[in-house]
Structure 1
Amino acid sequence: MKKWTAMMLLCLAPLLWSAPGDAAAQAQQAPAQPTLRVAISEVPPFVIREADGRWRGISIDLWTQIAEELGREFELVPMAFKDVLPSVETGKADVAVGAITMTAEREERVDFTHPFYQTGLAIAVPLESDGGWMAVVRRLFSWQFASAVLGLAALLLGVGALLWMFERHRNKEQFGGKPVQGLGQSFWWAAVTMTTVGYGDKAPVTLGGRLIAIVWMFAALIMVSGFTAAVTSALTVGSLQSAISGPQDLRRAHVATVAGTTSARYLDDERIRATAYPDVPTAMRAVQNGDVDAIVYDQPILQYRIAELSGTALRVLPGTFDNQAYAFAVGAGSELREPVSQATLRIVNGSNWPDLKRKYLGPVPR
């Protein structure tokens, strides 16, 4: 019996000694998972760059939790917003993280994970919504109104000077005297002729002067129409702003948006007059300066930017339209799509997700 026991131990000894070594060798031979390259672009409150260079935000915090759950290392690759999706499409990045709207057009180029945020477009307008007399008085002293008046005065002076050159010698009673007096009389004649008042106290007598008078009378009809339009525009721009209460009012307004975004595409599809700016703060300043009447962009981003920038005299109108969903983007056919989608579902349906949104957006109902 002892003999058989000794023989069995001798047979098992090589296996016992070799097993740990084989396991270590297999662990060394197993390839380590590569570090994921994550394309991002600053879009507060979803992607925020701190003063010390660190990144945070709704999308960044969510992605960090997903990567930890999947056991994957990653590096953030900042880039311009227009380059985020192309980087995933060409394989320069593995994942795109931010406030990326899912669209059919983009789905043809990349794959989207399960959405993590439902939102829509919103409209921000100036806080000043009154159309009272004080608003009219302020616009009467605005640069737009002053420039129209100065331009008209320069034209009247030019026409008057031309008439004075013909009349100053043969019509001294009406346009004579010192140059200043003669030009003043000519300026008066040009003004009353343009407004079709025609007091009759001044009239050219020379052939050249009468030709100028005929041309000016017909041209003045056009000039009066143009000046009236300019004055009306300067005085009623505030009334237009206050009249914007929803997307149905955008067709008669001039709005701002951000170039290359779904909001810009919406405005183009709806044939709404719009100017595309490089970023949200620039578009907001355009509204404040009176260059445009309102800004159309994603609701949470507008709300965050207005709250973040002190002194921003803008407000976001209630309600959204052209509803959309944010998701992470991966390359077409990427094996990351399914595990990232599953992790996203687990996190956004968890108890901590409302706290994460409230951290950046405040008590916004969802």
Structure 2
Amino acid sequence: MLEKRLRREVAVVFLFYNLKKWSSGILEASKTARTDFSMCKNIVSVIAIILFANFPALANSAYDENKMLIIATKEAAPFSIKTDEGWCGISIELWQQICRDLGIHYEFKEMGLEEMLEAVSHGKVDAAVAAITITKEREEAFNFSHPYYTTGLGIATKKKNEGRWMSIVKQFFSGSFLSVVGVLSVILLLTGIFIWFFERKKNPEQFGEKPIEGIGAGFWWAAVTMTTVGYGDKAPVTFGGRLVALVWMFAGLIFISSFTAAITTALTVDELGSVIHGPNDLFKVRVGTVAGSTSEKYLIQKHIGYKKYHSIDGCLASLKQDNIDAVVYDEPIIRYLISKEDATELKVLENTFKKQYYAFAIPAGSPLEESLNRKLAEIIGSQEWRDLLYKYMGQ
């Protein structure tokens, strides 16, 4: 953006220099040829008109101080906050200070993010003031002021309020753990049926002749044999029963090791799966973000699945209701909102990623750009700016 502005200014200076040189030549020629001086003035005037027509930014280098500017904004606390008394926040109050110093008159107009950016692009508003991130795509559609705040994306998750033991108890009733126990029970039942089938007539004292009693005894025998407890209260006496027992003894060693590992995994996988340490963990959880935001663009670039919402408030509400596992958005905004309303339920991870720069959005060729940037550079180096940041963010 700065490079583009510099090229334009150099081109204007170059054209003015050549215009002056050309007009002097024309005047000299007019004296020599005794041409009417008024004709030379007309030629210079026509050239000047053409020049200014092709450089509207130069023709509009000064803005009308009496004009009421339309400034688009949206709620993005703590940078733009809507109250009963009007708008406030870091970006809003910075803009207000600039306008007071420059004598600019303005009024705010609330819009959605995508609507606001489109309005700036088409010149329907004079500027957009909120938490607006500078991106390459946006710079192609309109201009930005110098950046006034550096930040990054953050991740909000839900706090785990229960203690460690309560969490462990909950895992015993999870679907993954119950499915492991169910498969094990089916295998024990099948083994019990086989052993009862061979022992029911020649060994009714231990396994019983009736199906319910015999299969129950066989189930018990299969369980104690698999776990190598071996109480010895029941033992097969038939050839078929002993063959089943021999196979089951060796198979039991394999089953008990496999199911021990499966049960351990079932007890820990849900706990581990819900822990999010950073952006690399977003691939395995349900993510939410705001439509049209730079965080949505980041998720698309990284091929991370997500659910989009119209506002950050909708994202955080969905997170509290367990509809999603994480919210990706501008770190200072989600940290501020959670600290004010949901500090007991939600948290923001400490590390930020994907650096971002906030700036004011202005239409291309805006007469405000140069004076806005000069005043912006003056304010963000002052104690007033540091006091404003501390007021809203404690930094």
- Counterpart position of 2:75: 42
- Quote the residue 2:169 is aligned against: 137
User: Does structure 1 residue 78 correspond to structure 2 residue 78?
Assistant: no
Cα separation, 2, equivalents of 1:236 and 1:72: 59
Displacement of 1:44 in angstroms is 0.7
Is the aligned partner of 1:248 residue 2:280?
yes
Q: Does 1:351 align with 2:383?
A: yes
Deviation at 1:240, TM superposition (A): 1.9
Counterparts of 1:339 and 1:196, CA distance in 2: 82
Supply the AA of the counterpart residue of 2:81.
I
1:206-245 correspondence runs (5 A): 236-242=269-275, 244-245=276-277
Counterparts of 1:1-366 in structure 2 under 5 Å? Answer: 33-50=66-83, 52-128=84-160, 132-138=164-170, 197-198=189-190, 200=193, 201=211, 236-242=269-275, 244-310=276-342, 312-362=344-394, 364=395
AA at the equivalent of 2:141: R
Shift, 1:129, TM fit: 7.9
Cα separation, 2, equivalents of 1:36 and 1:291: 42
Shift, 1:253, TM fit: 2.4
Per the TM alignment, residue 37 of structure 1 is displaced from its structure 2 partner at its CA by 0.4
Structure 1 pair 137–281 and aligned structure 2 pair: CA distance change class (3 A): farther
**Alpha-carbon distance in 1 for matches of 2:267, 2:86:** 46
Normalising by structure 1, we get a TM-score of 0.64
Matched to 1:346, the amino acid is E
Summarize deviations over 1:42-74 as a string: whole Å, max 9, x none: 111111011x25110001100000111111100
Larger Rg: 2
8 A Cα contact 1:131 1:239, kept in partner: no
After superposition, the Cα gap between the structure-2 partners of 1:323 and 1:92, relative to the gap in structure 1 and judged at 3 Å, is same
Describe the shift of the 1:350–1:32 C-alpha distance in structure 2 as closer, same or farther (beyond 3 A): closer
Question: For residues 140 and 126 of structure 1, what CA distance do their matches in structure 2 show?
Answer: 22
C-alpha distance 31-303 of structure 1, shift in aligned 2 (>3 A): closer
RMSD, aligned α-carbons: 3.1
1:266 aligned partner, one-letter code: Y
Q: Distance in 2 between matches of 1:53 and 1:322?
A: 35
Identity of aligned residues (%): 38
For the 8 Å contact 1:126–1:241, the answer to whether it is kept is no
Q: Shift of residue 41 of structure 1?
A: 0.6
CA distance in 2, matches of 1:267, 1:123: 12
TM-fit CA distance, 1:131: 8.3
In 2, distance between residues paired with 1:322 and 1:104? 14
Cα deviation code 1:116-160 (max 9, x no counterpart): 100001112222288834124346668xx59x99xx9xxxxxxxx
What amino acid does structure 1 have at the position aligned with 2:349? Answer: L
Judged with a 3 Å threshold, the aligned counterparts in structure 2 of structure 1 residues 32 and 352 are, in CA distance, closer, same or farther, namely closer
Q: Which residue of 2 aligns with 1:167?
A: none
Structure 2 Cα separation of the partners of residues 48 and 312 of structure 1: 22
Tell me how far apart the structure 2 counterparts of residues 31 and 341 of structure 1 sit (CA, whole Å).
17
How much does 1:317 deviate? 1.3
Q: Which amino acid aligns with 2:375?
A: A
Alpha carbons 2:319, 2:326 under 8 Å: kept: yes
Unaligned 5+ residue runs, structure 1?
Answer: 1-29, 153-190, 203-228
Counterpart residue type for residue 342 of structure 1: R
The 3 A distance-change label for structure 1 pair 139 and 90 is farther
Runs of 5+ in structure 2 lacking a partner?
Answer: 1-62, 194-210, 213-261
The two structures have a TM-score, normalised by structure 2, of: 0.60
- Alpha-carbon displacement from aligned partner over 1:245-270 (angstroms, at most 9, x marks no partner): 12222222222211110011101110
Q: Per the alignment, do residues 135 and 241 of structure 1 end up closer, same or farther by CA in structure 2, a change over 3 Å counting?
A: same
C-alpha distance 126-192 of structure 1, shift in aligned 2 (>3 A): closer
Greater shift, 75-84 or 193-202, is seen at 193-202
Q: Is the 1:256–1:295 contact (alpha carbons within 8 Å) kept by the matching residues of 2?
A: yes
For 1:139 and 1:55, how far apart are their aligned partners in 2?
Answer: 48
Q: Give the 3 Å change call, closer, same or farther, for CA 331–135 of structure 1 in structure 2.
A: same
